[in-house]
Amino acid sequence: MDSRFLHFWEYFRLASVVVQFVLIMVQCAFQIDSISYFVILYLFDLQAMADIYLKFHVQYTNGRNASFSTIVTFWNILQFVPSYAVDMHIVVTHPFMTARRYIRSNFWMDLFAVFPFEMLMCMVGGSASEVDGPGRSEIFHWIMYVRINRLLQIYRVPLAFQYMEKDIKVDPTSVFYYKYGTYWVIYIIFITCIPLVIQCPPLFCATTKQGCYFKPLDTNRSDLQLAMDMDYGSDSWEDPQHKTASADPFYASAFLSYISHQTDTLLKRSKRSSSSTIFVQTDDDGYVNLDVSEQCFSLSFLVFNNVANQPTLNKFVASFYWAVTTTTTTGFGDFFAFTQIEQIIFIFTMISGTMFYGYIIACVAAAQANSDARRSRFFERLLAVKNYLAHEHLPLILRKRVVRYYEYLWLRTQGIDPQTLIVGLPPSLTGELALQLYKKVIDQIAIFKNTPMGFKKMLATIIKPLYILQGEYVTRIGDTGTDLFFLYRGSVEVQYRSGEFGFEIRSGRILGEVAFLTEQKAQTSFRAKENCDLYCLTKKEFDLVLDHFPEVREKLMEEAIESMEREADYQRLFEERPRPETSKAKESMPTLLFKPEEGVPLRVKWNSARKHIFRSDVLFIRYFNKFTVTALRLVSVMLILYQPTFYRFLPVFYPLHYILEFIFIFDLIIRLRVGFLDKFGNEVLNPVLIRQLYFKSRTGLILDILNLFPYEILALAAPADMRAMTWGYLRLLRVPPRYIRIHQFFKSWLAELDITVLYVRLAFSFTQLAFWMHFFTCLAYYIACPNGVCDYNSWIKTTVLASNPDVDQGDAASYVIALYWITNSVTSTGYGDIVPSTNLDRTFSLVVQLVGKMLFGFIIGDISSALANAEISRQTFESQFQAIKTYLLDQQANQPIIARVQNYFNYLWSKNRGITDINNVLRDAPFCLRTEIGYAVHNKDLRQVSSFQCPAASQ
């Protein structure tokens, strides 16, 4: 069968299983007996049966031995991989074999999860046609509970996510969010429904013709356990003898009042009306038929706030709200346990909620730590190099060059070493994979095009990428030919002994082949004219390859001879070229001095300034266009949200808004004059290319149009009394694009290498927290007081704003009260002095609680991951010391030796953070840069050694 169809089918089954789980739990909890509801659920059953049929015909890969093929887990059914993905496996397509494999795996689980046990209801007791009144609805209630075996299909959810996580083509971040989002939906729906499912089971007697009759309660009794101990299964219920329970008087009185009210109401309705819609039956002794188990809602936590007697939607919203407030440990106190059974259920709910959200936060922290591990290791290397260079007092210019090179290296590689990708593979697979990686490089060199395939594979395994920044040297005059370089992208310029630069070499050429093959010193230098991609190999490794292919060595020698002759001709032509005559005055003039022209017209200066292009690393661009403008965007968003929601249109706000708009327009003009780095790290300062990138980018022109478009002009068409309100609503359209700009800034800031990740992430997290708390504060007040008119039946009724509605509490008081309630919800504090009252309030409150849980979860995850990754090098260094210390103790070494070793390790850490070999840390830097650093470090020491002194210096 087509694997694409199977992939789609598994994803579709995943979604349908989750939806079916939600529908069945909601039906059982709230006793929804609608025929259309049952039809939808039976459609899911048909899909499950079709899935069973498909699994009988799914091919699989047979293992190396028979025992492996019989050990099949639930995950095997999702493993639709081609035969080449499993070593030594073959694809089995025979129908008998595929069916036998499925029967031996999870066929019985799938069959049990779809078997229609409700059909057995026809053989037990009376059928729905034989039972009148409430008994009919109770039969449907029984069918709901008997169908609960369909919930077992939920086992497919974790298996499906395992399948998605092993697919390298799927974005792991998206899978992470989908996975835990799905788990949260399943968990929260289960918590929402399980108290009612346990407390409101169907009645056994409802399936009989007799029904469920019992005598009305004596309302003078104060024992809450009367309701707990009713024997609904007996033919005639008698009031058992109970001792007075020590229940809380409030609970007892509330329960008995409800029982008394319900009993009296039913008795009156039964005597007053004989309508077929009122199913209340009494016998001669006054026993009442109360077999409608929906009335148990009034014996649950839904009795508070009078939710039990409301429609099903209101009950579901209240239960969902209770589940969220309980699991997030908010607990406003408006819903709590009504019976002892609920107290037991709520205990497990609170514990499981704390563990569930703790697990989610831990997973977020682990994901953040794993995503930052490579960056942290690379940054530790950079930090070690910076500390080493500072400790050796190297020139500041050289230190900046090193840092700039490592930033460029991070931009190109993201800390990935291609050589590590093929470590541990078999030799044949290593050669094939390496050839695929470097085939374009090898084919670009003309001399290697017609070489044998074996030579290309061996060459690909020893070749290494090298990235050279503009202005850095590939080789210098006098270097020994230990490396051979292939110029794959970019251009280099040749420098002669005179210091002058000659001709330019483009991609596709070999560099340093003369010194490499003739074992002579280099006669010319090669300097990168732009950022270049090169590939190099060492002489020792290349000689081993050439020993197996002597014909290639001969071609390289011929190429070296031609190159020597060509370089000699170029140098001769360069030296014989006519040079422009210069006056002595100009020759004696210092080259670093700049004398501006006098009398330049203002128009010329303006045109020069208008065409000026800033580099992206200019401090003005960094601090104004990034930090300052981002902070002002946050202020602007908060003002835009505040005005229409709190209905405050003060005159002082209008000029403030348009001052900010002017700053954002100025920022746009500056951004069109700022260069950018292309994918190779080259600084692009061409105005045409800058505008092209701006127009094509998704965060460029379109986002700025949405950000700066004057929507408020449309408010002029509104009536005069509604013009200010319309103006405020129209400006809300600028919130999404400005929030995207803020998010884009932090994303680009986090992409930089030489930053403290912890501080940047904390700044981003607190910015997010400030934005969302302000957003929810404004929305909460708008829900209670739309357009400045407060609804005192909402959450605001328990605040000081409702106690004196005729007194203006002021802008600050209203904002502080709303912010106080939002902070209660976001931080899961839940004092309970302000609680939601309506369905809209409760829905809004649970959204706030969940967003708050996620925000603080990400903040905790960011802090923990940053701190964990910050200590990677220290933990490695300490583990190395502990290993040595343990070995010395095992060998019974004396304490002075152990103390000396500990002092030495402390010295190494304090000096260079445990780096014992700086050359190993600098291994990714170009050879010329490494030698320049080594010479700057050891120059003074070498001069003091007589063996390294020049003859002139020794005289």
Tokens matching residue 386 = 């910076």
Q: SS3 for 168-234, per residue?
A: CCCCHHHHHHHHHHHHHHHHHHHHHHHHHHHHCCCCHHHHCCCCCEECCCCCCCCCCHHHHCCCCCC
- State the CATH number of the domain containing residue 935: 1.10.287
Asked if 653 and 801 sit in the same domain, the reply is: yes
Q: Which of 408, 409, 406 is nearest to 388 (CA)?
A: 406
CA 889 vs CA 504, 636, 895, 897: distances in Å: 63, 64, 9, 10
Q: Could you give the angle at which helices 340-391 and 839-870 cross, rounded to 10 degrees?
A: 40
The pTM score is 0.72
User: What pLDDT was estimated at residue 767?
Assistant: 92
Residue 723 lies in a domain: yes
* Higher per-residue pLDDT: 229 or 604: 604
To the nearest whole percent, how much of the chain has pLDDT over 70?
75
Name, in order, each residue with C-beta under 8 angstroms of 636's C-beta and a sequence gap of 6 or more.
657, 660, 664, 734, 738
126-147 pLDDT, tens digit each: 444 444 444 556 678 888 888 9
892-945 pLDDT, tens digit each: 888 888 888 888 777 777 666 666 666 667 777 888 888 888 888 877 777 777
**Distance between CA 914 and CA 682 in Å, rounded?**
34
* Higher per-residue pLDDT: 409 or 276: 409
User: What pLDDT was estimated at residue 774?
Assistant: 94
* Higher per-residue pLDDT: 870 or 15: 15
**Distance between CA 847 and CA 321 in Å, rounded?**
9
Name 475's bridge partners.
526
**Contact indicator for 217, 204 with CB cutoff of 8 Å:** no
Asked if 755 and 895 sit in the same domain, the reply is: no
**Distance between CA 644 and CA 726 in Å, rounded?**
9
User: What pLDDT was estimated at residue 41?
Assistant: 93
Boundary-marking domain end, from 813, 829, 855: 855
User: What pLDDT was estimated at residue 233?
Assistant: 38
- State the CATH number of the domain containing residue 438: 2.60.120.10
Name, in order, each residue with C-beta under 8 angstroms of 466's C-beta and a sequence gap of 6 or more.
485, 533, 534, 535, 536, 926
477-494 pLDDT, tens digit each: 888 878 888 888 889 988
CA 34 vs CA 37, 41, 330, 677: distances in Å: 5, 11, 35, 62
Of the ranges 174-183, 191-200, 329-338, 911-920, which one carries the lowest mean pLDDT score?
A: 911-920
Residue 162 lies in a domain: yes
Average of pLDDT values for 630-638?
Answer: 94
Query: Pseudo-torsion of CA 102, 105, 108, 114, nearest 10°?
Result: -70
**Distance between CA 399 and CA 390 in Å, rounded?**
8
Asked if 637 and 730 sit in the same domain, the reply is: yes
* Higher per-residue pLDDT: 79 or 181: 181
Residue 239 lies in a domain: no
Asked if 783 and 667 sit in the same domain, the reply is: yes
Residue 231 lies in a domain: no
User: What pLDDT was estimated at residue 915?
Assistant: 62
Of the ranges 194-203, 325-334, 348-357, 791-800, which one carries the lowest mean pLDDT score?
A: 791-800
Of the ranges 43-57, 480-494, 804-818, which one carries the lowest mean pLDDT score?
A: 804-818
Asked if 722 and 664 sit in the same domain, the reply is: yes
Average of pLDDT values for 435-457?
Answer: 82
The DSSP H or E segment spanning 315 is helix 312-327
- In the predicted model, is pLDDT for residue 464 greater than 50? yes
Of the ranges 145-159, 230-244, 856-870, which one carries the lowest mean pLDDT score?
A: 230-244
386-405 pLDDT, tens digit each: 877 887 788 888 888 888 88
Name, in order, each residue with C-beta under 8 angstroms of 829's C-beta and a sequence gap of 6 or more.
330, 823
* Higher per-residue pLDDT: 918 or 846: 846
Asked if 875 and 747 sit in the same domain, the reply is: no
Asked if 904 and 808 sit in the same domain, the reply is: no
Confidence of residue 123 (pLDDT cuts 50, 70, 90): low
Q: Which of 933, 920, 921, 926 is nearest to 468 (CA)?
A: 926
Residue 589 lies in a domain: no
Residue 756 lies in a domain: yes
235-289 pLDDT, tens digit each: 443 433 333 333 334 334 444 444 444 444 444 433 433 333 333 444 555 555 5
The DSSP H or E segment spanning 488 is strand 483-489
- In the predicted model, is pLDDT for residue 530 greater than 50? yes
* Higher per-residue pLDDT: 419 or 642: 642
Boundary-marking domain end, from 141, 169, 197: 169
Torsion region of 877: left, alpha or beta (phi above 0 gives left; psi -120 to 50 gives alpha): alpha
Of the ranges 135-149, 522-536, 548-562, 586-600, which one carries the lowest mean pLDDT score?
A: 586-600
Asked if 662 and 551 sit in the same domain, the reply is: no
Asked if 849 and 893 sit in the same domain, the reply is: no
Residue 375 lies in a domain: no
Asked if 125 and 53 sit in the same domain, the reply is: yes
Asked if 689 and 814 sit in the same domain, the reply is: yes
Residue 81 lies in a domain: no
Q: Which domain holds residue 154?
A: 3-66+91-169
To the nearest whole percent, how much of the chain has pLDDT over 90?
14
User: What pLDDT was estimated at residue 264?
Assistant: 46
User: What pLDDT was estimated at residue 731?
Assistant: 92
749-769 pLDDT, tens digit each: 888 877 877 888 888 988 999
Boundary-marking domain end, from 152, 169, 186: 169
**Distance between CA 170 and CA 187 in Å, rounded?**
25
User: What pLDDT was estimated at residue 599?
Assistant: 58
Asked if 799 and 700 sit in the same domain, the reply is: yes
Q: How many structural domains are present in the chain?
A: 4
